[in-house]
Amino acid sequence: MIEIRYIGPLACPFLLCATCGLAITDSSTALARWPEGATRGVDFIHKGRCDDGRDCNTDELDAFLSYLVANTTAGGQAGRVAKGEIALP
């Protein structure tokens, strides 16, 4: 889940862990996960302590966020395509 926290006049977006509810402040310690075969329902969890071992697809959060940025800029021609992992339809 994405939450906006107001720090003074600034609206700051944070990702919250789906298990513990705390903000994820270090992407290298977290995962994006979604149900096997699903195209929606992505959530974010801390690795280890908050991973209940559910049978889901996962990506390292830092990689997932870089794909997300790439796929929402430059016409979506970067992301995983640039890494040769998938082709755009």
| Least distance in angstroms from the C-beta of 27 to Zn ion | 13
| Least distance in angstroms from the C-beta of 36 to Zn ion | 21
Task: Enumerate binding residues for Zn ion (CB under 5 A).
Answer: 17, 19-20, 46, 50
How buried is residue 42: exposed, middle or buried, by Cβ count under 10 Å (0-12/13-18/19+)? middle
Which is closer to Zn ion, CB of 1 or CB of 82?
A: 1
Backbone angles phi, psi at 27, to 5 degrees: -60, -25
Which is closer to Zn ion, CB of 25 or CB of 39?
A: 25
| Least distance in angstroms from the C-beta of 57 to Zn ion | 18
Q: How far apart are CA 76 and CA 13, in angstroms?
A: 22
